Amino acid sequence: MVPAAMATLLRRALRPLRPLQGRPGPAAGVPLRAASHGAGLLYPEHIPTSLLQKALLAAGSAGMALYNPYRHDMVAVLGETTGRRTLKVLRDQMRRDPEGSQILQERPRISLSTLDLGKLQSLPEGSLGREYLRFLDVNRVSPDTRAPTRFVDDEELAYVIQRYREVHDMLHTLLGMPTNILGEIVVKWFEAVQTGLPMCILGALFGPIRLSAQSLRVLVSELIPWAVQNGRRAPCVLNLYYERRWEQPLRALREELGITDPPCTSTAWPRP
């Protein structure tokens, strides 16, 4: 009954995932659960998904993230399932840049186990490392709360999006934005302009939905134009090897990237 064309289309959408037929092919074609020891998985946390599953995940995670803004894992899943093309562009951009290509080769990770907190603490005031540590303390966040990438079907791209997530806190420090909802939206706008990831664009557009009118006014009139301007002007922030720049004064780094001071201090911000 189903026209042949539709049937082939459906089969193609499901191809990476057919555990019952065990069709050989790319890594994702292998029965999922047989890959318990890494055979068929591109990286340890990898979960191969078909096109249909990615579409459902994207829609479901978008809805759930809007419904319950505390589900950060849903924002992450949205990013992973919708970002394939953009991640490729980002990865190519990183390859062309000398510092970026180093990052791709060495694959540094920002987590509590890789950071030398004592050394960062001893750095002079105003340096990137010291300010980053201060940001973590003041906002009571930890770099370890980022969920690992699961649904990206390319190992290098999985690293790129993982790096993007771990650099997010750096961006807060660079832009001087706190982690309240207003600050997060501003950083999202900056990221949307910089990376073009669909998840950032969606977050930037739909994030302000739950804001009060006053916050919206401040956001639209001052913060967003500032974020967009700086995003456009600055080179790709993923190309910065932050681990080598801990001693660099924050002010100097901001000048290098062309980031101006934020329009108003956090104490003057209206309550979202």
Partner 1 sequence: MAAPSSFLLWSYYGHGWSRVMRYCRLPGLRSSWPGGPLGARHLSQEKRATETHFGFETVSEEEKGGKVYQVFESVAKKYDVMNDMMSLGIHRIWKDLLLWKMRPFPGTQLLDVAGGTGDIAFRFLNYVQAQHQGKQKRQLRAQQNLSWEEIAKKYRNEEDSLGGSRVMVCDINKEMLKIGKQKARAQGYKAGLAWVLGDAEELPFDDDKFDVYTIAFGIRNVTHIDRALQEAHRVLKPGGRFLCLEFSQVNNPLISRLYDLYSFQVIPVLGEVIAGDWKSYQYLVESIRQFPSQEEFKEMIEDAGFQKVTYESLTSGIVAIHSGFKL
Binding site for partner 1 (CB under 8 A): 14, 17, 19-20, 31-34, 36, 47, 50, 52-53, 56-57, 60-61, 63-64, 71, 73-74, 77, 150
Q: How many CA atoms lie within 13 A of 262 on its CB side?
A: 23
Token pair listed for 204: 């930037």
Q: How far is the CB of 31 from partner 1 (least distance, A)?
A: 5
Of 18 and 88, the one with the shorter C-beta distance to partner 1 is 18
Of 76 and 250, the one with the shorter C-beta distance to partner 1 is 76
Of 19 and 126, the one with the shorter C-beta distance to partner 1 is 19
Report H helices in the chain.
4-14, 51-67, 72-82, 84-96, 98-106, 117-122, 128-139, 155-175, 181-195, 198-206, 213-218, 224-233, 250-257
Of 66 and 216, the one with the shorter C-beta distance to partner 1 is 66
Of 79 and 272, the one with the shorter C-beta distance to partner 1 is 79
Q: How far is the CB of 252 from partner 1 (least distance, A)?
A: 41
Q: How far is the CB of 161 from partner 1 (least distance, A)?
A: 17
Q: How far is the CB of 35 from partner 1 (least distance, A)?
A: 9
Q: Are the CB atoms for 241 and 99 separated by under 8 Å?
A: yes
Token pair listed for 251: 């002010």
Q: How far is the CB of 192 from partner 1 (least distance, A)?
A: 23
Of 5 and 20, the one with the shorter C-beta distance to partner 1 is 20
C-alpha span between 90 and 24 (Å, rounded): 31
What is the number of residues in the chain?
272
Q: Please count the helices (runs of H) and the strands (runs of E) in the chain.
A: 13, 0
CB atoms within 10 A of CB 148: 12
Beta carbons within 8 Å of 113's beta carbon, 6+ residues apart: none
Q: Are the CB atoms for 231 and 192 separated by under 8 Å?
A: yes
Q: How far is the CB of 75 from partner 1 (least distance, A)?
A: 12
